[in-house]
Structure 1
């Protein structure tokens, strides 16, 4: 295969390409002249509350041999809720391999560099907080940045939370360090010969299987083979050497985060392991949880710096707008962990089978334990607080197809009817669809902008089941919807026999446009009652209603709900 197929710049996903720049940073240790920095400012940052501080900045830190591109699927899910920053560490991804001196790749040097990049993009004047999201060795770098007991930088004062994906507990004995350093002293050409041998077999090579598993899907294997190819041997050796601790009188220094560093964290921490991870055992999560939980038992009940309010505390303005979630200067410490089931390997952050679940879990953690302002549902409600049915939305409504194709043999998705519309009012709807759609469930929160009596008089039964816009329905709402549909279907079957209905009768469901909340609840029913998987339900809805569930956080929530994965807090 041509090497251009694996060129990092040429293979960057569009989002990464659009939002990246090459920048130069100078620290006390070195000058790094060609660093690729990804930064995307929240598109609504200027319209969201900035008191006491802006919505936190999400900072992504890749691991040994990694790159910003590996975070692309997560960035797609998380850029809608916050400004996002990531950097290709020197010599990784698109960044230039300069400088070349080994000291520039020590852990302390990389920590100092990361602080410089973050401070260059954080709204320092407004006191913007930071949430770190690291993968593998990047999790250790994040832990070092966040540790207040032995701070490497002043940035720890502004770190509000940490997400560690496939983290390592960093336990090295002096003997193990000596052995690893000896291995790293092997001449580079021998390293390259071993790597070439390890890549034999392409997508079915040992190197690919090690990171994503022999049973991974073809796309995941393709991505892993590309990332393996892009990792440069001299860079990998320098970073690996710099990650190993130095021992003086039996005490380690420098090096990646060990358990004492993890134990020092006093912020919300979310740890994610992969059951099939052959690079970093998922047992590392348990080791880190044990030291964090032990520390939490002593300090976890203490009030945070904001008078003891939790991150989920809310106050509702008197104007009736969406509630304004609390934004603590220092969220209360909590430890949450989960292990994604097979086929979750070391590449679980970019594998299509695991990314939607991971993205949903991270979103939940951020909005629940850091601040509710990181909930996309809340943000969209806040931004749309001036009302739904003014003129500016009418054209959008008119461009939406009135009724979808059949979905799962049970449903039709529709957009809300309008009493004054000439084509999609109750009277015309009954004439066009009354023989097919026998019941309509209105899941919009507001009163309908049509008279339901027009449906009832035409023989189409109307059911009101209100849910909030922009927010995925909660457990109670899902359960109620499933039970309501069960009841309607039972009644429909009786009437079909008695009245001789034609096959294909359905239940119509609408919110405002019939995409997000409608698709979400329809998919829930298809999974829970009709034997669909989450992926099959989402695809079935999209096929019948082109573009499908548009909000990614709704889709992520479905994958999380039906993945069987639970987090331990």
Structure 2
């Protein structure tokens, strides 16, 4: 809608510009083919691999070629399916958008459950057909989406659906999920959650609708010319800054400029027109939904906004919260950095330790065929085979109808309307959505729990041993304090305590073992050689808790000070370090070290992640660990006030 409003201020210069281009003999075509080619060139590999094109017919229209991305969960058949399989995650883009805008989110969430994303007709790689304006009203688009979702949802098993919308896609999601809207299918009975990113609360007023309609009557050639004029300056153009802000990073601006180019004028005008209601006796009919639709939601709702969003401002969240009213209790967000644990370096009572970690459950698996491969890495994610294979019979419940709750978050500036693909913000968003899915929709959506449940690994076996041997034993120095390691093995000829002391004892003076179980080596061999051993047990495949990070940092602080005293007393001649290992020294080890670099040494979180990866190639491998790092260090995260 803001683009329409902005049109008023540039209509006259836009008309002057189009006349000049016509005199110069330059083409002013709509750019539809150009936009389609652009979308094909830049279509992410994940979407290319798992997309298909199909036709759908609704009660009024036939849509001949809709691009649908669908990636089923690779291990869905091995996970519990009583009372239903994992919910299907459905991504719905907004006005002028496309499914490819969700690629950064899909990269993270595609491993939590089966995912579905749709290019609406004329958007992204879907055909611009039919061209009838009525086919692009919000009511007809919502009906189309219902049909597509029902086609991919496992109806025979009663699979639930979580809707994840952006901008106008939030309005479409609200219409699909609302019990106050007439539906063509029984899909609303199976909606189990709704995530609205940068949502719009209500339709424009009657006077605004009249103004917008007049602007949409402007001839298409002139409208298209204005869009080209508005894009003058490329990534620094008004069209880009309107969405992401003048202070946005270059990568975000490049993405926004590309998406603006891909948006087809004819499609944009039809969808914009179709979002406008008509008023009868002061009541809005059709178009974007308002209080009636939002108030009819009977599922957990998560509303997210960007503080610097100039398209749908954060105040929209307050309005939606008011529409939901007391039916949706507001979730109280707990401070993750609560009081520290007791001395983690002290001897561990195994029975107490088991009780402390039991809510997070134990084992892990090889993620080889489970995680979507990262194109930037060659090796598969590593498993942690030493934790015990117990507790796996404890399957968390999955409610057919989760309790209603409202969670709201406002990400601080520079978070903008481009939140779902803003590189510096999307990791935070992915982590927040993942937390919401696990805590409010189904704990089975936790990637960490899934990895543990699917575990078939026991203690070290031949296969794991071969993989372990391929991993470098010790990293390069990290920030002058750490060296990341893989675990030692007592019977290994090259990486056992005796050899380690001989080769590394002059540099690595302390080892923090963060693996869960007793080590597969005898720490006394280290202690005899002057290397102090500290047990700090954590569970694999699950990002460390706030308490654990706090305790780890306190432990490192203490060891740093102790090493200064020891160095002077023992006359150390070389630079000394603290070794940290889980089993392979990538994910948990990297997580803790990155936290220390940020909290104690003032690193930016991305710089810390990159530094760890540089010294310990290829760094932290699990996407959900990276997501949680960004969530943890999203300083100034705000929760919208509720009414």
TM-score between the two structures when normalised by the length of structure 1: 0.94
Distance in 2, matches of 1:41 and 1:526, equals 37
- Residue of structure 2 in register with 1:243 after alignment: 275
The reply to whether residue 272 of structure 1 matches residue 343 of structure 2 is: no
Q: 2:403 aligns with which of 332, 335, 343?
A: 332
> Paired residue for 2:518?
447
Q: Is the 8 A contact 1:315 1:324 kept in 2?
A: no
Summarize the Cα distance change of 1:492–1:258 in structure 2 as closer, same or farther, 3 Å threshold.
same
Shift of 1:315: 10
Residue 356 in structure 1 maps to residue 427 in structure 2: yes
| Correspondence for 1:458 among 505, 512, 529 | 529
Instruction: Give the secondary structure class of the aligned counterpart of 1:417.
Output: coil
- Quote the residue 2:588 is aligned against: 517
Shift of the 508–467 alpha-carbon distance from structure 1 to 2, 3 Å rule, reads same
Q: What displacement does 1:89 show?
A: 0.2
Displacement of 1:447 after TM fit? 1.2
Structure 1 residues 260 and 504: CA distance shift in structure 2, 3 A: farther
Deviates more, 1:353-362 or 1:252-261: 252-261
Give the deviation of 1:249 after TM superposition.
3.6
* Counterpart for residue 531 of structure 1: 602
Alpha-carbon distance, 1:149 to partner: 2.7
Aligned to 2:157, what secondary structure does the other structure show?
A: coil
CA contact (8 A) 2:174 2:294 kept: yes
- State the alpha-carbon separation in 2 of the partners of residues 446 and 151 from structure 1: 55
- Is 1:211 the equivalent of 2:282? no
Identify the residue that residue 108 of structure 1 maps to in structure 2: 139
Q: How far apart, CA to CA, are the structure 1 residues paired with 2:131 and 2:98?
A: 18
Any idea what SS the aligned residue of 1:406 has? coil
2:201, 2:320 within 8 Å by CA — same for their partners in 1?
A: yes
Aligned to 1:437: 508
The CA deviation at 1:246 is 2.5
Tell me, yes or no, if the aligned pair for 1:293 and 1:335 is still in contact at 8 Å.
no
Paired position in structure 1 for 2:264 = 232
The CA deviation string for residues 490-549 of structure 1, in whole angstroms up to 9 with x for no partner, is 111101111221342111011111000000011111111111121121111101100100
Structure 1 distance, partners of 2:266, 2:414, is 31
**Residue 320 (1) aligns with residue 352 (2):** no
Which segment is superposed worse, 448-457 or 62-71? 448-457
C-alpha distance in 2, partners of 1:38/1:236? 22
Compute the displacement of 1:296 (Å). Answer: 2.8
Equivalent of 2:489 in 418, 434, 438: 418
Aligned counterpart for 2:567 among listed residues 496, 515, 520:
496
Matches within 5 A, 1:361-380: 361-380=432-451
Which blocks of at least 5 consecutive residues in structure 2 are unaligned? 1-30, 333-358, 364-388
The equivalent residue for 1:125 is 156
Paired residue for 1:19? 50
Q: For each residue in 1:185-223, what CA deviation from the matched residue of structure 2 results, as whole angstroms up to 9, or x when unmatched?
A: 111111111111111111111000001111111111111
1:480 Cα deviation from its structure 2 partner:
1.2
Counterpart Cα distance in 1 of 2:105 and 2:361: 30
Q: How far apart in 1 are the matches of 2:331 and 2:489?
A: 56
Structure 1 residues 228-283: Cα deviation after superposition (integer angstroms, max 9, x where no partner): 11111111111111111122343322212212211221211111111111111111
Which residue of structure 2 lines up, in the alignment, with residue 303 of structure 1? none
* Shift, 1:347, TM fit: 0.6
Structure 1, 68-77 or 176-185: larger mean CA deviation: 176-185
Cα shift at 1:299:
13
- The answer to whether the Cα contact below 8 Å between 2:482 and 2:577 also exists between their aligned partners in 1 is yes
Structure 1: segments with no counterpart, 5+ residues: 301-312
Partner of 1:180: 212
Contact 1:316 1:323 in 2 (8 A): no
Deviation per CA, 1:334-359: give whole Å up to 9, x if none.
11111111111111110111111111
CA apart distance, 1:4: 8.1
**Larger RCO (CA under 8 A, 6+ residues apart):** 2
CA contact (8 A) 1:6 1:229 kept: no
Other structure's SS at 2:542 match? coil
- The residue that corresponds to 2:228 in the other structure is 196
Instruction: Judge which range, 380-389 or 118-127, deviates more.
Output: 380-389
Secondary structure of the 1:94 match is coil
1:353 match: secondary structure: helix
Q: Secondary structure of 1:24's match?
A: strand
Maintained 8 Å contact 1:316/1:322: no
Partners of 1:168 and 1:373 in 2: how far apart?
Answer: 30
Match for residue 167 of structure 2?
136
- Distance in 1 (CA, whole Å) between partners of 2:207 and 2:623 is 48
Q: Does residue 252 in structure 1 map to residue 323 in structure 2?
A: no
- Aligned residues of 1:55 and 1:129 also touching (Cα < 8 A): yes
Structure 1 residues 297 and 361: alpha-carbon distance in aligned structure 2, compared to 1, 3 A threshold: closer
Contact kept in structure 2, 1:161 and 1:268, CA below 8 Å: yes
Tell me how far apart the structure 2 counterparts of residues 493 and 55 of structure 1 sit (CA, whole Å).
52
- In structure 2, relative to structure 1, the CA distance for the partners of 1:443 and 1:567 (3 Å cut) is farther
In 1, Cα distance between equivalents of 2:35 and 2:216: 28
Matched, 1:484 2:516: no
The one of 616, 631, 639 equivalent to 1:545 is 616
SS of the residue 2:310 aligns to: coil
1:290, CA displacement in angstroms? 2.4
Is residue 2:87 matched to residue 1:56? Answer: yes
Let me know the Cα RMSD of the aligned residues: 2.2
Whether the aligned pair in 2 keeps the contact of 1:322 and 1:381 (CA below 8 Å) is: no
2:469 to 393, 398, 402: 398
Q: Classify 1:299/1:194 alpha carbon distance in 2 versus 1 (closer, same or farther; 3 Å).
A: closer
Tell me: CA distance 1:6–1:204, structure 2 relative to 1, closer, same or farther (3 Å). farther
- Contact 1:37–1:87 (Cα < 8 Å) also in 2: yes
- SS at the partner of 2:108? helix
Aligned pair partner of 2:75 in 44, 65, 70? 44
Q: Distance in 1 between matches of 2:36 and 2:55?
A: 27
Aligned with 2:408: secondary structure? strand
Q: Which moved more, 1:460-469 or 1:500-509?
A: 500-509
CA deviation profile, 1:59-94 (whole Å, cap 9, x unmatched): 000000000110000000100111100010000001
Q: In the aligned structure 1, how far is the partner of 2:431 from the partner of 2:394? A: 22
Q: Go from structure 1 to structure 2 and tell me whether the alpha carbon gap of 1:200 and 1:400 turns closer, same or farther (over 3 Å shift).
A: same
Residues 193, 301 of structure 2: 8 Å contact kept: yes
* Higher mean C-alpha deviation, range 438-447 or range 165-174: 165-174
SS in 2 for 1:7: helix
Q: How many residues align?
A: 557
Residues 550 and 190 of structure 1: CA distance in aligned 2, closer, same or farther (over 3 Å): same
